[in-house]
Amino acid sequence: MCGIIGYTGGGNAAQIIYEGLKNLEYRGYDSAGMAIMENGACKTVKSCGRVEKLGASLRFFGGHTGIGHTRWATHGKPSNANAHPHTYGRITVVHNGIIENYAELRQRLTERGEIFLSETDSEVIAHLIDGFYDGDLIEAVIKCADMLKGSYALLCLCEGKEEIAAAKCRSPVILGLGENCNYLASDMTALAGKCKEVCVLEDGDFALVTPLSAKIYDGGKREITRAYLPNLAEPSALALGGFPHFMVKELWEAPATVKNTITAFCGQKDLIKSALSGVRRIVFTGCGTAYHAALAGKRYIEEFAHIPCETDYAGELRYKTLNVAEKTALIAITQSGETADTVEAARLYKSQGCTVLAVTNSPYSAITRIADVVVPVAAGAEIGVAATKSYSGQIAALYMLASLVAEKEENFAAVAEMPKLILKTLEKIDIYATARLCAESSGVYFLGRDIDYAVALEGSLKLKEVSYIPGCGYPASELKHGPLALIDGSTLSVFVITDPDISVKAEGAVEQVLARRGKVAVITGLPGVKHDLKGRAEIIELPRCDKYLSPLLSAAALQLLAYRTAVILGCDPDKPRNLAKSVTVE
């Protein structure tokens, strides 16, 4: 969730940390801060709100080693006091994760007479490291880690030392190797253009970096070796490129995402097919948008390959009684590859002997180190907190996966045509009138049948995320079983209708809403539906395509609808309140 970065070298540490935090801000933006080592002393600045508030302080810093943090609050409200870094004695720390036993540790330290200045769980770490420190920083960090329960990506400074210590447990830490300098960060976006090679720390790893060295240790303080890999982060992906927001920029990158995902998938076809050979049951899991993609994946596998499937939210799946049948596969979907619940669900199923496939946009992430096979999503960096192009990549990957298992090679030609149709959708659809209706409504309800229901859930989530308008997604068949009570003249119902075989049934639900004076918008590529409802509902017309590939078009329309609505209401679609991009805590 939170973003952390460290730098040590010959450059202006404050400027480098600030730039890195700007690139990490999608991980949390409740508050931000940095600590810079100058003349043996640690100087700190922090502020509630966005990273840019730190900019005015940059001229007061001149050191060459520092750490920074942009926060998504877990323990303690957003405030200057709760912002990181936290300092106690000689030690200053930034932390991403949750310390589950912090209350017990804090009570013990308080009884010893130590004073706390924040409400966070993280502050105990500074106290513990300072208590253990006797001249060897990495040893003190290792001893501290032995006392912590939970998850942590930790960076630490000590007065008088031009070095940074790091620790990793179930929250990501990337080490970047520069020219006469070294970096540490939550993910590669902070290191775009900074270094050519990165090293992904494993759980239980510790690192100590100076301008000229980077050493990694295990919990016994034995030096170990980890592979260095190419830094895949591109600075161009972090620029708006003339767009007003990342959300709409990344929407327009969906065609390229699908095209690149097709290419990447074809490079893994043999591995994917081998991993699923003989599988008799498939469990799909994910969180948020990834879960909605899982619903579509389930439909594809059952329709094309006739293999029984289940879907469950990862946060629920990992705590349910595990009944693993013979030859079960888990397909875990996560954009970041670091989603805590999804990673832990994958870890659990792997421990029971299941085949695990990871559908992810992050090739160096935690999920890729657990999975037997990675199903690649080639979306590139996605900066907007609300997922857009990564969902398109997930849908394309899952469609191809199901087609591969079912040996329906002709489907690959069909999905290869979709980038053109997504582009046509974005270029041609008129979404403004419906966005205005959304902005004026007390609630917006999204409805569809079969695979359109999975898309309706995604449309509802997008609108809530970026515009804060309440609403839900429902199967259109369930409308009269309760949700119809919500309909009145102040609400809007958005129907997704792309399946010609059941369009008449879906139109019946539209008629029920219209009969109760509810406002209606319909997203469809079916001429008959447009003809039947013209003049009585707002029609958002899609290009015609196969119903199983229609989520690539209908979801793009719904994501654009959410974006336009947020802009009308004056909301920031890139940084929705209370949210963060990479959910690395439970």
Residues taking part in catalysis: 2, 581
User: What are 212's two structure tokens?
Assistant: 């000229």
Helix (H, G, I), strand (E, B) or coil at 171: coil
Q: Regarding beta strands 213-217 and 223-224, do their DSSP bridges make them parallel or antiparallel, or are they unpaired? A: antiparallel
Closest C-alpha among 457, 383, 407 to residue 307? 407
As a whole number of angstroms, the distance between CA 34 and CA 190 comes to: 14
Radius of gyration of the chain, Cα coordinates, nearest whole angstrom: 25
Side chain identity, residue 540: I
Sign of CA dihedral 270, 271, 277, 281: negative
Sign of CA dihedral 312, 313, 314, 320: negative
As a whole number of angstroms, the distance between CA 430 and CA 575 comes to: 25
Strand partners, 149: none
As a whole number of angstroms, the distance between CA 159 and CA 197 comes to: 29
Yes or no: say if 378 and 264 are a contact pair by the CB < 8 Å rule: yes
As a whole number of angstroms, the distance between CA 276 and CA 341 comes to: 23
Angle (nearest 5°) at CA 260 between 262 and 19: 145
Rounded to the nearest 10 degrees, how much is the dihedral formed by the CA atoms of 103, 109, 115, 120?
A: -30
Yes or no: say if 294 and 331 are a contact pair by the CB < 8 Å rule: yes
Task: For residue 55, count other CB atoms closer than 10 A to its CB.
Answer: 12
User: What are 586's two structure tokens?
Assistant: 């439970």
Yes or no: say if 95 and 73 are a contact pair by the CB < 8 Å rule: no
Residue with tokens 């810093």: 61
As a whole number of angstroms, the distance between CA 573 and CA 465 comes to: 8
Containing 505, the helix (H) or strand (E) segment is: helix 503-514
As a whole number of angstroms, the distance between CA 337 and CA 310 comes to: 21
